[in-house]
Structure 1
Amino acid sequence: MNFLNEPFLKVKDYSVSGEEFGLLIDENLQLLKTYPQPELSELSKYYESEAYISHTDSKRSLFEITYHFIKQKALRNKIKLVERWNGGKGTLLDIGTGTGDFLAEAKRNHWKSVGIEPNENARTKAKLKGICLVESLTELEDNYFDVVTMWHVLEHVPDLENQIKELKRVVKPNGVIFIAVPNFKSYDANYYGKYWAAYDVPRHLWHFSKTAMEKLFAKQNLKLKKVLPLWFDSFYVSLLSEKYKSGKMNLFKAFWIGLQSNLKGRKNLEYSSHIYIFKNS
């Protein structure tokens, strides 16, 4: 990777620390890197917030209630998508399991599944749902899983290239890998700029484009087969971005920007977030 020294953009951590970080760009990969990246020993403190919704099951507000309602439909859709590409059920690894809802849905659908989740609080909640968890990828056998999933997790991983090597190692030949990440080339990213909530520095260490995803995974002979939009993400991200920009959640403005992002995405195929589907070859 070859990142320019001058920041592509300067972004603030709006949800926890209030600190400012730079985003450096690798122009060949069209990949952004958060700089400076916190030391591994320091990363956990940036997740210490009740507002970090992927680590909580709480439904204290209309926003959280709506989030979890839509999340349930999204979980069912993800299982259908995985089964369609796998040609049925099988062995599944979910990295960044959070509170375990995706694997709980997989278990209900008779998948043999395992999860990895570094956050202790989220891990405890996942275990209460009967989820099987391991500490790290190093515990897992080579070429064991039919499917590996990372739903909005790759952007959090410190050692990006080694992570992709490990995905290659644990998935079966002809196995399928599903990766969901935000897209900094989207309309809502361009509209909100430094206020775009999906930058989420420094928890998001990397910021991807379609070019970056295809090139990074091609290095491990993982072939990109399909890119799909995550329609809801533009509305969710726009709502948070409005809060960061104006200090309040402007529901109607956020809905309009989210809608615009999806409509423009239908033309230029640059949505707020994408699901990338890779085949091991």
Structure 2
Amino acid sequence: MSDRKCWIDHSGIVLHSVDGFDVIHCESCGFKHIIPIPDEEELERIYKHEYHIKDKPLMLQHQLEDADWHEATNKARLESIEKQLKRKGSILDIGSGNGFFLKQAVDMGWQVKGVEPSDKAVDYCNSIGLDVIHGVFDQKCADSIGKFDVVHLWEVLEHLPDPIGMLSLCREVLNPGGLIVIGVPNDYNRLQKIMSENFDEKPWWLAPPHHINFFNRSSLEKLVRRIGFEPLHYEISFPMELFLLMGKNYLNEPELGRECHAMRKELELNLTRSGNRDVLDKLYNCFAEAGFGRHAVLMAGKKD
């Protein structure tokens, strides 16, 4: 029988314990997260100065190497957003990183603004002419930043001590009929469980304190409904765990990881460039129905 733990007003069955943290399926939040939840000030310090230098020193280099792939994937996401919104408009990108999504949005005729805590990433965004605020998206920022048709959060919610509060702030800055777009790692999925339970691989997707929360389609949809959004569209990205099951164990070999990523890029770019993006979409829809996919992408409309 698994242990049940409580921390402040969070409680649930312990799924894993790592580096002094327990992962629980929280009964009050409705999704999985670590306890204790890290202090906001400490996290702000990490993401303002250390994340792009100490933890992800090659992020920009790899993004530049993958520029054609980022262009294709961001273009496809923006087309999907436009289909749901039924027009182009204004986008606020929270946690905009080095600005590749915003740059693609500008090129496609969207009005854009970003918020990013990393000073290094903001410097790069500004160097390529993007309007990105250096800081965190908090109540003060929300009160001053204006209104938008779309709020985009890519790889943000998993890092936050209060994702519910973040989504509430996002709702405040959305125009009536606006759209929120959330991309998070699809963790505790079936392929990860197979590798962990059947092949004795440690749960590599656990990375506290950087990753605090763990979502899937069901928990994301429940969460956004709780805040006053209606789920409209769901997508996934390529299930990278398939490479592990094919004998390409990249977990402790960064270079092998890049090789696997390169194969995934070739699949997506070859189908996109040849005019067969619909084949890729159908394939990924099948993965999504099975619960697979490295990232879960949910688009939800603001309920007025």
Question: TM-score normalised to the size of structure 2?
Answer: 0.73
Q: Which residue of 1 is the match for residue 172 of structure 2?
A: 169
Rg (Cα) greater in structure: 2
Once the 2 structures are TM-superposed, how far is the Cα of residue 271 of structure 1 from its aligned partner? 2.8
What is the total number of aligned residue pairs between the two structures? 263
Residues in 2 aligned to 1:232 and 1:129: alpha-carbon distance in whole angstroms? 32
- Aligned AA (1:82): I
Query: Could you say which residue in structure 2 is the equivalent of 1:14?
Result: none
Structure 2 counterparts to residues 258-273 of structure 1, below 5 A: 265=287, 268-273=290-295
8 Å Cα contact 1:177-1:278 kept in structure 2: yes
Match of 1:24 in 2: 24
The secondary structure found in structure 2 opposite 1:180 is strand
**Alpha-carbon shift at residue 42 of structure 1 (Å):** 2.5
**CA–CA separation in structure 2 for the residues paired with 1:248 and 1:101:** 22
* Within-5 A mapping of 1:142-221: 144-193=147-196, 195-221=202-228
Partner of 1:280: 302
Q: Which one-letter code corresponds to 2:177 in the other structure?
A: N
Q: How does 1:99-114 map to 2 (within 5 A)?
A: 99-114=98-113
1:91–1:145 Cα contact (<8 Å) kept: yes
- Please report how far the alpha carbon of residue 263 of structure 1 lies from its aligned counterpart in structure 2 after TM superposition: 9.7
Identity of aligned residues (%): 20
Q: Offset of 1:158 from its aligned partner?
A: 1.9
- Would the alpha carbon gap of residues 172 and 198 (structure 1) be closer, same or farther in structure 2, given more than 3 Å must change? farther
Q: Is the 8 A contact 2:241 2:294 kept in 1?
A: yes
Shift of 1:90: 0.8
Deviation at 1:22, TM superposition (A): 2.3
Q: Could you list the runs of 5+ residues in structure 1 that have no partner in the other structure?
A: 12-18
CA contact (8 A) 2:70 2:100 kept: no
Contact 2:148 2:175 in 1 (8 A): yes
Check whether the contact 1:188–1:272 (CA below 8 A) recurs between aligned residues. Answer: no
TM-score, normalised relative to structure 1: 0.78
- What is the 5 A alignment of 1:227-246? 227-231=234-238, 234=241, 242-244=249-251, 246=252
In the alignment, is the contact (CA less than 8 A) between 1:242 and 1:249 conserved in 2? no
Residue type of the alignment partner of 2:86: G
Question: How far did 1:26 drift?
Answer: 1.7
Question: What is the distance in 1 between the residues matched to 2:99 and 2:243?
Answer: 21
Q: Is the 8 A contact 1:106 1:113 kept in 2?
A: yes
Moved more, 20-29 or 102-111: 20-29
**Per the alignment, do residues 195 and 71 of structure 1 end up closer, same or farther by CA in structure 2, a change over 3 Å counting?**
farther
Retained in 1: the 8 A contact 2:244–2:250? no
Structure 2 partner of 1:86: 85
Q: 1:234 to 1:94 in 2, by over 3 A?
A: farther
Q: Distance in 2 between matches of 1:238 and 1:65?
A: 29
- Separation in 2 of the partners of 1:232 and 1:67? 18
The residue aligned with 2:130 is 131
In 2: Cα distance, 1:68 partner to 1:20 partner: 38
Deviations 1:38-82 (A, max 9, x none): 3233324462645526x83214xxxx6765443232111122112
- Alpha-carbon distance change, 20 to 249 in structure 1, aligned in 2, over 3 angstroms: farther
Offset of residue 251 of structure 1: 5.9
Distance in 1 between the 2:176 and 2:37 partners? Answer: 34
Partner-residue secondary structure (3-state), 2:131: coil
